[in-house]
Structure 1
Amino acid sequence: MLLKRLHDKIHGKKEELIEQYIDISGRVIALLLGTVSIELIMSGLIFWVKELLWLLV
């Protein structure tokens, strides 16, 4: 939201540059969120498999 307000405030010469910054920052945020979500999914699966194996023994 902060980037959107900055984009709305500054128009003209630097608009293309700001759009590139917003695009790059959006991609970085998506990459970080994807990494965290995969990490959480994998840790949950490992916990689930350990519990399942413990019940079978």
Structure 2
Amino acid sequence: MSREDYMYNNDVREYFLKLPAPVQNAVIDTGMEISTLGELQMWAEHYMKSHPNSRG
């Protein structure tokens, strides 16, 4: 998915834009289809725990 794909759902967009840039980039680079706020939150939280330096 591209950055623009995360801009269509208001809740997803708001959360995505609050994520640190390295996490936003990682979400996009995976190419995963994340379609709900819950999916994005779970993925981002797991990623940040696994990559502590990604918090900005």
Q: Scaled by the length of structure 2, what TM-score is found? A: 0.32
Which protein has the larger Cα radius of gyration, Structure 1 or Structure 2? 1
- The structure with higher relative contact order (CA 8 Å, sep 6+) is 2
